[in-house]
Amino acid sequence: MHRHFAGRTAPVQPALQQAQRSAARPVALAADARRPLPSPVPSRAVAGQHAWAAGSRKRGSLHRTPAVATELSELASKFDIKDNVEVVEGNGGLTKVVLKHACGSQAEVYLFGGVITSWTQPSGDEVLYIRPDAKFDGVKPISGGVPHCFPQFGPGTMQQHGFARNLPWEIASTSADLQPDERDPTVELVLVDNEYTRAMWPHAFKAVFTVSLHGELLRTDLRVHNTGDEPFDFTAALHTYIEVLDIGVAKVRGLQGLRYLDKTQDATNPPEATEEREEVGFEGPVDSVYLGAKDYVELDVGTGAAVAIASSGWEDVVVWSPWTSMESCYKSFCCVENAKFGSPANVAPGGVWVATQEFAVIDLE
């Protein structure tokens, strides 16, 4: 059972604490969070193949064939870092990477879909949410955590939310970068184009997704490289599910005054409105895309704590609740997700698009 990080006493990062106190001035990521990650010390470099080759695992089975067991062992040998990074077997026999910070925070990232499925505070409190109907079968996307929507957000010319959440990513490297007092565990995942992706989206690309723990903070860095000869554009989002005490008391702050698209009215041609509320609550289904959003928003989860999200490069924010269409779980979560949707990203040959996030749990009382 998930817990709701109530009563935490850990200190709040200064930049996020200042943002909480000043509603009039959004706060971006700290300067060091916007720079590329430093050279890892120590580090493990990529070898090449993802852990789960097609046909090597029985669908929906926990049984591992000897070949798959060997692949997992090889990945662990190449990428494990004692006390900080561990490659292990997860639900459904899928491979996951566990990041452990010396302060006690942890994160779990599955190679299938490149999805973050868990982020816990030093207290052990879970921040993210996995839906009870989530499948860990390597066939359907994992519903919950922080799934990718790339190279398409929402419905369109290809499968819903694109293909990145439905493909195995590879480990490019792991590291535990030396900070002044302790190490930041990090995993870098890579997804490249193949015959399957080009059938839907005919472009050569390399997506690099980096996940790290900086103390109690969770950081992500997504880079999309154009490795072809023609420019391409795309839309994207990180579809973050966050656990709340009850959807009826959850509130999102930092959206007042923004234009938004109400996709509950029409998903393909949503009407536009302006957000007048200082706090966006939930009284029914919500599917709103806030355009040109600020680089800082908060989700009050109803326990006296909030999840603060600082970002760069994403530009838009999506707020989503399925309400009673997911009767078994809708009260326990909502999605507050960074997106690039209002104006698609355009990447020239040899170019790269970069977007970052920093998540923190902050006290409101």
151 prior amide bond cis, ω within 30: yes
Q: Which residue has the tokens 């493990």?
A: 44
101 as an active site residue: the answer is: no
E strand or H helix at 346:
strand 333-347
Give the position of tokens 């120590």: 42
What's the count of helices (H) and strands (E) in the chain, helices before strands? 4, 22
Catalytic residue (choose from 86, 170, 298, 337) = 337
Distances (CA, A) of 221 to 36, 69, 213, 224: 9, 30, 12, 10
Residue 337 is a catalytic residue:
yes
Distance from the Cα of residue 94 to its chain's centroid = 18
Q: What are the DSSP calls for 254-312, one per residue?
A: S-TT-EEEETTT-SSS--EEE---SEE--SS-EEEEETT--SEEEEE-SSSEEEEEEEE
C-alpha–C-alpha distance, residues 351 and 224, integer Å: 8
Residue 144 and residue 126 in contact, taking contact as beta carbons nearer than 8 Å: no
Centre a 10 Å sphere on the Cβ of residue 112 and count the other Cβ atoms it contains: 25
Neighbour count for residue 8 (Cβ, 10 Å) = 17
- b/e burial code for range 328-354 (CB count within 10 A of at least 16 → b): ebbbbbbbbbbbbbbeebebeeeeebe
Task: Write the DSSP symbol of residue 19.
Answer: H
3-state helix, strand, coil in the chain (%, to 5): 10, 40, 45
| Cis amide bond preceding 185, omega within 30 | no
Residue in 216, 239, 298, 315 annotated catalytic: 239
360/357 Cα distance (integer angstroms): 10
- Enumerate the active-site residues: 239, 337
